[in-house]
């Protein structure tokens, strides 16, 4: 539920924090600098935009580099252990800097902070960290930061769950023309390898009218592309009294004037309905891209993962999608090295890759997450075996993506210009409807515009193109 009382309270804390930051500015003789470092997924990226909104509103410069900021905030991820290790690595470096610069403040938030073992470790071994909060109380950021600046002690505030949302606080979008929109929080699927349901809580859908109001506001503010975000968008609406489904929500978002592109992330194959495929096929605004995590192609492993679909039903779903939307790009996530996985299981995964012909796939080596059912299994596979199998999968992904990349060569398509190209300042980078990138000659005046581009040739995952007058 949206909590208006809490909103009022947090707006008061924004005022109080502004006074603190003004005092800090007087002492430093310059604007205090903050770096928000984001790990992990789109949800975290969106959360960081919320943190930056409050930081800017209260007087911080949020463009600072981590190495010279007065306040460093790590918005952490814990899906795989290497994400946790990265944070500890960064903290080691900051500890040395804090000795030289005692005024430096350090805050930690995000999924990793929802793990009890992490909090134990930080409260015992990382006393130099000033503030720790979690995913459920991020809307209290202004209050927490105010408390941090007015106290000498380490502040740790972690909630196990919440039913409240406070959505109308300031947000600083990274891009002026596109934005993520949370449509739901948490996850109920309990895939046996995954820590997300434990750190993000049970699934809660936002009311459709609140979502539409947010999209309308974004459109008024110049946003032309929205990405609807949830761990499993296809189960949107479960538990809501008005019972609206995800396809019905998409139709409502589509009506918002000014919004020209709609994306969504992530789809669970077990919940992707034919209704959704029909809505996508008929839509002029919903982008031709579905991210459809496979995880494994082996029925045995899928069952052990609690994914609730089979190789056959997954392939049939992809067929239905491709038949209804021929130009759709399908991408996926794959885990290699799940406990008990054999080379034959991986053969099945490779078979699916060959049959579906993914446009791209993110492949991960299984990471044991304490507290998940898979972590207790005695048949964990060796690192060496997992790496070998991982390389086999990677080769298959490269071949499949290789045949898909370039299929649009010669066509004129619309691209939303996102940025100046990283490699060549005389070029810009644009995103196609199917999520591929194209680089072409152009200037910063094009950023945020949708323009027609002729795709001249394909280079790996991207195209080189040329702007034209019309489609
Ligand atoms: N080990 C490896 N990969 C994982 N993912 C989730 N949990 C784990 C884990 N324990 C991957 C899944 C998911 C993506 C976001 O992260 O492929 O789709
Ligand atoms: Fe994790 Fe499965 Fe939920 Fe995705 S659907 S967040 S993999 S539990």
**With a 6 A CB cut-off, is 205 part of the ligand 2 pocket?**
no
Listing DSSP states for 53-74 in one string gives HHHHHTT-BTT--GGG-SEEEE
**Interacting residues of 281 by C-beta distance below 8 A, sequence separation 6+:** 324, 325
| Under 8 Å between Cβ of 153 and 175 | no
Q: Average pLDDT, stretch 77-81?
A: 96
Please, what is the angle between helix 246-254 and helix 208-220, to 10°?
30
| Under 8 Å between Cβ of 354 and 309 | no
Distance CA 119, CA 114 (A): 8
pLDDT in tens, 312-337: 999 999 999 999 999 999 999 999 99
* Residue 234 three-state SS: helix
User: Atom 16, ligand 1: which residue's CA is nearest?
Assistant: 79
* Residue 459 three-state SS: strand
User: Atom 4, ligand 2: which residue's CA is nearest?
Assistant: 231
- Ligand 1 neighbours (beta carbon < 6 A): 79-80, 193-194, 293, 295, 333, 335, 364, 366-367, 369
For residue 196, the ligand closest to its alpha carbon is 2
Distance CA 117, CA 442 (A): 50
pLDDT score of 162 more than 90: no
Res 1: pLDDT: 66
User: Atom 1, ligand 2: which residue's CA is nearest?
Assistant: 194
Distance 208 CA to ligand 2 centre (A): 23
Q: Is 454 exposed, middle or buried (0-12, 13-18, 19+ CB in 10 A)?
A: middle
Higher pLDDT, 295 or 2: 295
Chain-wide mean pLDDT for the chain? 95
Distance 314 CA to ligand 2 centre (A): 16
pTM (two decimals): 0.94
* Residue 2 three-state SS: strand
Res 4: pLDDT: 82
pLDDT over 70, % of the chain: 100
For ligand 1, mutation pick of 40, 43, 115, 193 (most atoms within 8 Å of CB)? 193
pLDDT score of 130 more than 70: yes
Distance CA 131, CA 149 (A): 10
DSSP 418: E
User: Atom 5, ligand 2: which residue's CA is nearest?
Assistant: 189
Q: Is 459 exposed, middle or buried (0-12, 13-18, 19+ CB in 10 A)?
A: exposed
Q: Which atom of ligand 2 is nearest to the CA of 307?
A: 2
**With a 6 A CB cut-off, is 187 part of the ligand 2 pocket?**
yes
> C-alpha 306: how far from its chain's center?
23
Q: Where are the beta strands (DSSP E) in 211-359?
A: 225-229, 261-265, 289-291, 329-336
Distance 258 CA to ligand 1 centre (A): 35
């Amino acid at each position: 539920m949206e909590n208006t009382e809490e909103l009022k309270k947090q707006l008061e804390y924004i005022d109080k924090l502004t006074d603190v930051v003004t005092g800090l500015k007087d002492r430093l003789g310059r604007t205090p600098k903050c770096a928000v470092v984001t790990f992990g997924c789109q949800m975290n990226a969106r959360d960081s935009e919320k943190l930056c909104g409050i930081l800017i509103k209260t007087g911080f410069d949020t463009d600072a580099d981590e190495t010279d900021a007065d306040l460093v905030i790590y918005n952490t991820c814990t899906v795989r252990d290497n994400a946790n290790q990265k944070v500890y690595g960064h903290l080691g470096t900051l500890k040395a800097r804090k000795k030289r610069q005692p005024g430096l403040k350090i805050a930690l938030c995000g999924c990793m902070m929802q793990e009890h073992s992490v909090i134990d470790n930080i409260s015992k071994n990382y006393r130099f960290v000033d503030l720790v909060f979690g995913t459920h109380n991020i809307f209290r950021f202004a209050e927490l930061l105010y408390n941090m600046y007015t106290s000498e002690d380490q502040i740790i505030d972690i909630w196990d769950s919440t039913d409240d949302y406070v959505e109308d606080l300031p947000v600083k979008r990274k891009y002026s023309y596109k934005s993520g929109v949370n449509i739901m929080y948490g996850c109920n699927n309990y895939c046996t390898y995954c820590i997300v349901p434990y750190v993000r809580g049970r699934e809660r859908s936002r009311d459709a009218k609140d979502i539409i109001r947010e999209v309308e506001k974004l459109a008024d503010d110049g946003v032309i592309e929205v990405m609807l975000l949830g761990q499993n968008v296809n189960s949107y609406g479960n538990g809501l009294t008005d019972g609206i489904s995800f396809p019905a929500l998409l139709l409502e978002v589509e009506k918002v004037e000014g919004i020209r592109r709609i994306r969504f992330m992530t789809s669970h194959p077990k919940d992707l309905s034919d209704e959704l495929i029909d809505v996508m096929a008929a839509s002029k605004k919903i982008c031709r891209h579905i991210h459809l995590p496979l995880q494994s192609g082996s029925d045995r492993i899928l069952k052990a993962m609690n994914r609730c679909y089979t190789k056959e039903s997954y392939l049939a779903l992809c067929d239905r999608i491709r038949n209804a939307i021929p130009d759709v790009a399908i991408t996926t996530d794959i885990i290699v090295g799940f406990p008990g996985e054999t080379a034959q299981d991986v053969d099945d995964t490779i078979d699916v890759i060959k049959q579906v012909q993914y446009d791209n796939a993110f492949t991960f080596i299984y990471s044991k997450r304490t507290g998940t059912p898979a972590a207790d299994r005695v048949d964990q596979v060796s690192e060496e075996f997992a790496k070998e199998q991982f390389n086999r999968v990677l080769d298959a992904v490269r071949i499949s993506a290789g045949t898909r990349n370039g299929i649009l060569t010669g066509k004129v398509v619309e691209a939303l210009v996102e940025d100046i190209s990283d490699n060549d300042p005389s070029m810009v980078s644009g995103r196609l409807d199917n999520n591929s990138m194209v680089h072409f000659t152009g200037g910063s005046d094009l950023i945020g515009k949708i323009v027609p581009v002729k795709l001249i040739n394909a280079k790996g995952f991207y195209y080189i193109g040329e702007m034209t007058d019309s489609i």
